[in-house]
Amino acid sequence: MNLKNVLSRGLPPLMGLALLVGIWSLVSVTSTNNFPTPTDTFWQAVEVFKNPFYKNGPNDQGVGWNVWSSLKRVALGFGLAALVGIPLGFLIGRFEFLSRMFNPLISLLRPVSPLAWLPIGLLVFKGANPAAIWTIFICSIWPMVINTAVGVQRVPQDYLNVARVLDLSEWKVVSKILFPAVLPYMLTGVRLAVGTAWLVIVAAEMLTGGVGIGFWVWDEWNNLNVKNIIIAIFVIGLVGLILEFALIKLATAFTFEEVQS
């Protein structure tokens, strides 16, 4: 790659970053609320990341532990949602009756903010941690159900005709035709679900407390340590970006050329 190429590809993102830092500096200089400057925050971040995995009791742990706890909750809630949501999506996509049965329920419940389910979780599971996992479960199940169902409904008729002409067994139809054909849709659902789950976990942890990146934000707000809040925002963004990137890579690996008609 020559210099010109590097410049034309690298310059715009750098300029975007510079703009953010510029506005941030301007705000921190003009603000009367002790809004931290980018440099102060940067040195604080260096300090925070020097020892990301320390433990001083349950309410004072390194940022690494906080991120790890949040990821664990997301993984658990999301995993359970996948276990329920993907098979449910397959059934809804395959059987018109079930589709008609569940569509009103899904339409009704999907627009509800997942945090509204938190009290129900607290009531039923009698604990902050399972309630947070429950909230993640609820918010990540919808994209997986809906995308899987749409994927099943959109399996090209040609493939199903092939299955009928070859007279494949139901198992072969599922394993050789339905599953591979639905996989790209399903992975889109998974990607949306993980994205939402990562959004929601921060808010849920703010309410439930314990260890986690969301709780850390709230804790630092109580300590009036704005620098750490800003660091947390960047960490949350970065982790979200990595999750998204990994899932896009996964999805492209399983997407095949469609039949041209």
Residues of this chain that interact with other proteins (CB under 8 A) are 158-159, 161-162, 164-169, 172, 176-177, 180, 256-261
Specify the residue, 100 or 172, whose C-beta has the smaller distance to other proteins. 172
Residue (167 or 249) nearer to other proteins, CB: 167
Q: CB 51 → other proteins: shortest distance, Å?
A: 47
Cβ 165 to other proteins, closest distance in Å? 5
Helix (H, G, I), strand (E, B) or coil at 55: strand
DSSP of 161-204: HHHHHHT--HHHIIIIIIHHHHHHHHHHHHHHHHHHHHHHHHHH
Q: How many CB atoms lie within 10 A of CB 228?
A: 23
CA separation for the pair 117, 104 (Å, rounded): 19
Residue 61 DSSP code = B
Please state the closest distance from residue 40 (CB atom) to other proteins, in A.
Answer: 53
The rounded distance, in Å, linking the Cα atoms of 28 and 136 is 35
Q: Check if the beta carbon of residue 110 is closer than 8 Å to that of residue 127.
A: no
Residue 161 or 252 with smaller CB distance to other proteins: 161
- Least distance CB 247 / other proteins (angstroms): 19
Q: Which two tokens stand for residue 155?
A: 């399996």
Q: What is the rounded distance in angstroms from the CA atom of residue 220 to the CA atom of residue 149?
A: 42
Q: Is residue 141 within a helix (H) or strand (E), and if so which, with residue range?
A: helix 128-153
Q: How far is the CB of 157 from other proteins (least distance, A)?
A: 9
Which residue number, 139 or 163, has a Cβ lying nearer to other proteins? 163
The nearer residue to other proteins, 47 or 158, going by C-beta atoms, is 158
